[in-house]
Structure 1
Amino acid sequence: MRIVVAGDSVGVSLSEVLAAHLATCPGLEVTEMSRSPDGAGEYYANIAERVGQAILAGKFDRGILCCGTGIGMAISANKVPGIRAAQTHDTFSAERAAKSNDAHIITLGARVVGTELAKTIVNAWLASDFDPQGPSAKNVEAIGTLDAKYRR
């Protein structure tokens, strides 16, 4: 599985910790994308867009975004048409982000969760898969319909 991890100026330290943690997990290919290729300072909206577009382009399977609370990254990532991002601060919400919502991206708050909890949250999310025939399939399909309706 190909994972992309990124954080804004507040979340970059957590992003780097998570990238290092994931690099030790068998079967994962991890890329850290916090810094802009041109070195420009960025807002979390720019980072979330870059990660979301890379996932939609098929370069990565899933993404993890970090900022101070996880809120700004979640809002920003969900503005990218076709992306489903979920803010997670515990293992149950991370598991459900995958199993019930087929989330491409989870977001974490560096000021909200510690590094060890963040690793556990990420592990729970990556260990969970969406069942396209399961009870949440129609909900995810409806999200896609809503996304397409308002896409420009």
Structure 2
Amino acid sequence: MLKKIVIGSDHVGLELKPSIINHLKELGYEVTDVGTNSKDRTDYPIFGRMVGQKVASGEFPLGIAICGTGVGISLAANKVAGVRAACVSEPYSASLSRQHNNSNVLCFGSRVIGSELAKMIVNAWLDAKFQGGRHQRRVEELAAEDQRDDSKFNELVKQGKAANKKGEN
């Protein structure tokens, strides 16, 4: 089965993006680049949104988004319902973002990390698997927020409080 991933960046992330694309291809991924492919100044929300939409639609299971710090583009991606974008600067958080939060978009900053560290982060993120269990309800709470379903969110919070009292979390 062919593994697919979508990647996007603003003009600041453009310098780091080719090394990540090449690394993903070496890992056996089919990579779709949604831009930017120009050094002309552009806005990170455009590309965070594009990556987020392609992941949320199911067209791609995972995405990577890069800007100067990773923060802005992660905020943009997280505005898309169904996206759980994690902005990270080291492998441990990347791994836990998949294991505990089931992140589906990885974000980082080209002004914060270099290409070798970025590759390590990508590897840790791709190798990690969602653990489910006690983390599942929390991801469902995020989904309820995406759907603006207050009753579902409140019910899940109630379940969480009960589980915490029993020591299940």
Aligned to 1:140: 139
Aligned to 1:8: 10
C-alpha contact 1:95 1:125 (8 A) present in aligned 2: yes
> Is 1:46 the counterpart of 2:38 in the alignment?
no
Which structure 2 residues correspond to residues 6-45 of structure 1 after superposition, within 5 A? 6-26=8-28, 28-35=29-36, 42-45=42-45
Query: Percent sequence identity over matched residues?
Result: 37
C-alpha separation in 2, matches of 1:41 and 1:91: 29
Aligned-pair distance for 1:35?
Answer: 2.7
Which structure 2 residues correspond to residues 1-150 of structure 1 after superposition, within 5 A? 1-26=3-28, 28-35=29-36, 42-132=42-132, 134-149=133-148
TM-score (norm 2): 0.80
C-alpha contact 1:7 1:13 (8 A) present in aligned 2: no
Unaligned runs of 5+ in 1: none
C-alpha contact 2:84 2:103 (8 A) present in aligned 1: yes
Aligned-pair distance for 1:41?
Answer: 6.5
C-alpha separation in 2, matches of 1:31 and 1:147: 26
TM-score (norm 1): 0.89
C-alpha separation in 2, matches of 1:60 and 1:107: 16
Higher relative contact order (CA 8 A, sep 6+): 1
Q: RMSD of aligned C-alpha atoms?
A: 1.7
Q: Which has the larger radius of gyration?
A: 2
Q: How many residues align?
A: 145
Unaligned runs of 5+ in 2: 150-169
C-alpha contact 2:11 2:36 (8 A) present in aligned 1: no
Aligned-pair distance for 1:21?
Answer: 0.9
Segments of 4+ moved more than 3 angstroms: none
C-alpha separation in 2, matches of 1:48 and 1:126: 19
* Secondary structure class of the residue paired with 1:102: coil
Q: Deviations over 1:1-28 (max 9, x none)?
A: 21111110000121121001111113x2
